[in-house]
Structure 1
């Protein structure tokens, strides 16, 4: 929704109305109830998001996603697939990946040991560089 808001330049005080317009079925019923319970003329976007995430993305699910990220290893996945999964789960543990260097190091730690051992000599500090070099190393081993 935030991307759509930026694209069409929705004002802050209109965001809740725009987003709630797209709710269907059970989500729409939930919102009608929540809006009545809030007892305000205007429910701010921040409050809407807080209520929405509380309902549809509870704390225990966030914790599960954090655990998945912390346990994430490349395993049998190609580097590209591992990178996609890493990116998907990283948003749940921003404190673990809030700098380029942390992100790069964390990604490198989850790589297969044979790839990681070849990467370490480069002393890479950016995420993009680590991913690219890992893909090159993986690709070269396939061609050998």
Structure 2
């Protein structure tokens, strides 16, 4: 869906509406019920993702993905491969990488030690700079 948002140029405020149109059958019934039980009138995209994952992605699986993220190290990967894996797993640990600075810091921590030490000298603060 994130790719579709980029392609279709969907604003942050319209993402939930956009996605909810694709829900069919039981998923649509679940969404109608979940939306009715939410206290906030406007449900953000981040909130939607959280309640969707809570429903369709078991807490055990989510914990496993979080562990994989926190154990992720560059090791035998090149930076591009490491960045791809980092991005795949980062979606399961939103609070730990919810700002550009946190994301950059965590990414740098997983780099090979010699590379991490070299980057330390530059005091980079954005994810793009670190990558």
Which position in structure 1 is the counterpart of 2:42?
A: none
More helix by share: 1
Which position in structure 2 is the counterpart of 1:72?
A: 72
Which position in structure 1 is the counterpart of 2:92?
A: 92
* Distance in structure 2 (CA, Å) of the matches to 1:11 and 1:87: 22
Larger radius of gyration: 1
Which position in structure 1 is the counterpart of 2:103?
A: 103
1:76 and 1:15, CA in 2 relative to 1: closer, same or farther beyond 3 A?
closer
Post-superposition CA distance 1:74-121 (Å, at most 9, x none): 010000010011111111111111222211111111000111111111
* Distance in structure 1 (CA, Å) of the matches to 2:74 and 2:81: 8
Which position in structure 1 is the counterpart of 2:44?
A: none
Structure 2 regions of 5+ residues with no counterpart? 37-47
Matched, 1:20 2:9: no
CA RMSD, Structure 1 to Structure 2 (Å) = 3.3
Matched, 1:127 2:130: no
Post-superposition CA distance 1:18-63 (Å, at most 9, x none): 3233xxxxxx5xx28x94xx7xxx925647x64x644531111111
1:44 and 1:71, CA in 2 relative to 1: closer, same or farther beyond 3 A?
same
TM-score (norm 1): 0.62
Matches within 5 A, 1:31-42: 31=26, 35=29
